Structure 1
Amino acid sequence: MAIILVVDDELGIRALLSEILTDEGHTVELAENAAQARAVRERMKPDLVLLDIWMPDVDGITLLKEWGASGLLTMPVIMMSGHGTIDTAVEATKFGALAFLEKPITLQKLLRAVEQGLARPGQRNGAPAAEHVPGGGGLPGVPGTMSVSSLPGGLPLPVAPPAGPQPQQSFDLDRPLREARDAFEKSYFEFHLAKEGGSMTRVAEKTGLERTHLYRKLKQLGVDLTRNKRGGL
């Protein structure tokens, strides 16, 4: 998971983005102005920055230019604004921004932009991106790994049984309806939690439940929320 810096002068925006990104397993640092953003950038060297354009002291475009001019733009930066225009977006990308998000930011757009930003090839925190080893036949960017076909004698690696809840399960139906329903619902939610890496945000979106309702439901069913938890609820 990544260290993400959120820079926005609105407390509500900072809190919302922090909750969502923390739920996704990331470490989130917050700054309400350019001065705080500079300090966090120096101290934490974030993997990605979400930067608001309109701030009271120094605006986001100016801060972006400053980082670029001083060689500190070693991480992807995604600009945010509730009053953006095409010209603003073009200017932001001209000075090194990876993308531009218009407020109010939807969950899908935020997660997609963050995912693409973290997957961006090139430098992150000044370190070169891993490169694929030509002819290696193994995992991209991991020297020394081998594919099954390159093992001595062509012997396949033993395959471990899948871990965690499976899509198809058997249930004891010779019991009261409430017990059978609870057993099904518990398995259902455990499956989706495992599939989504413990992300309450993604499970809520997948199952169509509001997060607070989902949390209460999981507690009621006795679902272990720590087993697949990556970075907080």
Structure 2
Amino acid sequence: MATILVVDDEMGIRALLSEILTDEGHAIEIAENATQARAARERSRPDLVLLDIWMPDVDGITLLKEWGATGQLNMPVIMMSGHGTIDTAVEATKYGATAFLEKPITLQKLLRAVEQGLAKAPARAPGALGSISPISVNVLPGQRLEADLTVESAMTGGMGLPSMPVDLGPQSEQSFDLDRPLREARDAFEKAYFEFHLARENGSMTRVAEKTGLERTHLYRKLKQLGVDLSRNKRGGSH
């Protein structure tokens, strides 16, 4: 989905946030101090930064001010602190932070802040996404399941089915081989079903779980069982 830079001097916090956000389909860069954060920002040009306030060398507010003063604050920055006050949050917002998260950070608040922050991020390649091409999946002769899939997803194999080549034409079709045991045919359909939703939700396991009505852990096991390659549905692979 996006490249996110996590800056925190606590290894446990970095590991936890990285695990959660990686599971959501994001590419993660980590830094434990301002020096590493500057280098990571320059190297990976993140779409969003999670920045701790209290760090040993340079505090997060100072680094935020520095990026703003040098014209480098061109991505949303979410501040984090376990000792924050209202005044701290107001100061962070004053210098360009888009949100403030108080530790310990709950999963719900983290994902909501990240989603809202990325919604405010400037588009990296205007016009590259959003063009929709209808794709038909032929289940039985004369019966079609209509689905929308972005042209980019189609070009990168978003459906992930080698036996079903994708044509970018307006009436492109994909056919299941029904001359096989029921279990194999069902697995093939389920794989296409989940890969379609993963592509449409940009790899977000949380949103796919909500859309398909499955508990997240069960969904993850199901995808592993079907052999779904989760990495193919993560945006930002070029970062």
TM-score of the pair, normalised by structure 2: 0.62
Residue 160 (str. 1) matches residue 134 (str. 2): yes
Q: Which letter maps to 1:219?
A: K
Match of 1:98 in 2: 98
CA distance in 2, matches of 1:164, 1:116: 37
Alpha-carbon shift at residue 32 of structure 1 (Å): 0.7
Residue 28 (str. 1) matches residue 63 (str. 2): no
What per-residue deviation string (whole Å, max 9, x for no partner) do you get for residues 70-98 of structure 1?
A: 22222221101122211110010111111
CA distance in 1, matches of 2:208, 2:53: 31
Give SS of 1:46's match: coil
CA distance in 2, matches of 1:192, 1:21: 18
Q: Which letter maps to 1:51?
A: L
Match of 2:201 in 1: 196
For residue 219 of structure 1, the aligned residue among 215, 224, 239 is 224
CA distance in 1, matches of 2:138, 2:54: 45
CA distance in 2, matches of 1:196, 1:48: 19
Alignment CA distance shift 1:106-1:185 (3 Å): farther
Alpha-carbon shift at residue 68 of structure 1 (Å): 1.8
Structure 2: unaligned runs, 5 residues or longer: 128-132, 140-144, 147-181
Alpha-carbon shift at residue 17 of structure 1 (Å): 1.8
Higher normalized strand content (fraction of residues):
2
Alignment CA distance shift 1:86-1:26 (3 Å): same
Alignment CA distance shift 1:47-1:192 (3 Å): closer
Match of 2:215 in 1: 209
Residue 51 (str. 1) matches residue 51 (str. 2): yes
Structure 1: unaligned runs, 5 residues or longer: 131-140, 143-158, 168-175
CA distance in 1, matches of 2:231, 2:34: 38
How do 1:49-128 residues align onto structure 2 when only pairs under 5 Å count? Answer: 49-120=49-120
Whether the aligned pair in 2 keeps the contact of 1:20 and 1:201 (CA below 8 Å) is: no
Match of 1:135 in 2: none
Alignment CA distance shift 1:38-1:113 (3 Å): same
Alignment CA distance shift 1:205-1:32 (3 Å): farther
Greater radius of gyration (CA): 1
Alignment CA distance shift 1:67-1:217 (3 Å): same
Q: Which letter maps to 1:224?
A: V
Match of 1:40 in 2: 40
In terms of mean alpha carbon deviation, does 70-79 or 28-37 score higher?
70-79
TM-score of the pair, normalised by structure 1: 0.64
Q: Which letter maps to 2:99?
A: A
In terms of mean alpha carbon deviation, does 99-108 or 81-90 score higher?
99-108
Match of 1:230 in 2: 234
Whether the aligned pair in 2 keeps the contact of 1:198 and 1:225 (CA below 8 Å) is: no
Give SS of 1:160's match: strand
